[in-house]
Amino acid sequence: HKGLSRSTMAAARAAARDGIEALVRQSKVIVFDAYGTLFDVQAAARGAGLGPLWPKVAEVWRTQQLQATWLRNCLPGGPAFVPFWTVTQEALEVALAAAGVDGSAPATGGEAGGVTIRERLLQLYKELEAYDDVADVLSKAQAAGRRTAILSNGSKDMLGDAIRAASLEDKLDAVISADDAAVFKPDSRVYDLVCSSLGVRPEEVLFVSSNNWDVKGAAAYGFATAWCNRKGSAGDAIPGSPDVVIESLVELAEACAAQATKSE
C-alpha cells in the first residue's frame, strides 16, 4: 500500500466491503480453496525445527507443488494425474535439495519423536494450521444461510486430516477434491464438481481463494469470485480478474454477519 493516501485506502476498503456484501447476497454457497486460503502452507516448514532454512523449504515446496499440478495437466497424452499427496511428497524432495537439507536426518524439536526430517515435514503438512480467521468466517457464512464447501486440488485424505486437526468438521457442508475429476485446477472439470455435487448453477457460487490463478480460473468458469490476497501480492499474469479483492477472511465474515442481520 506504499504511496496510497489514507483517503484512497479507506475508499478502496469501502468498495471492497460493498462488493463482498453484494457477492454474499447473491450466493447460495460459498466455496473456499483450502491450501493458502484456509490452511497455512508455510506452517509445516516453520514448525519442523529447520532453523533459518525453513523459509527456503516452504517457498520451494509450495512453488514446486503448484508447478507440478499445472504441468501435469498439460503433458502430452495427459492429464498425468496423481493424487496431490504424491505431488506434495515429490515437491518436498526438490525443496529439501534446494535448501541443502538432508531429509533422512533425525528431526529435532519437542514432538519430533525419533522420525526423520522428511517424515516430520509430511506429518506436519497433514495437520496444517488453519488461519485465525477461518473458523469464524465459516460459522458466519452458515449463520447467514449459506452452505460452505471446500474445493481443492488436495487429496481427500489430506483434506480430511487438515479439517479434523483444525476442528472444522461441523463448519463445512461439503469437501470436494480434484481426485473426483482426475485433473487439477484450473481445469474446468474441477470447477464442474461444485455444481454437480451441490446442485447449484455457477452464478449461485461465491468462490474464495488466496491463489490469484485459481480465482481467475473460477471467474472464467462463471463463479463470482473473491481474491483473499493475504500477502498483498501483485497476482499472476494471466487473463481475468476477481470480482473483489479482500485482505483476509475477516472482511468476508463481516459481510456474512451483515447478511444474517438483514435476514432476521
Residues assigned a catalytic role? 33
Calculate the CA dihedral of residues 29, 34, 36, 38 and round it to 10 degrees: 70
Nearest to 144, CA basis, from 10, 8, 12, 20:
20
SS3 41: coil
Q: How far apart are CA 160 and CA 16, in angstroms?
A: 32
Residue 255: CB atoms within 10 Å:
29
> Residues 39, 162: contact at Cβ < 8 Å?
yes
Q: How far apart are CA 220 and CA 214, in angstroms?
A: 10
Q: How far apart are CA 64 and CA 167, in angstroms?
A: 28
Note the maximum CA span of the chain: 58
Question: Grid coordinates representing 223?
Answer: 463463479
> Residues 159, 127: contact at Cβ < 8 Å?
no
Residue 83: CB atoms within 10 Å:
18
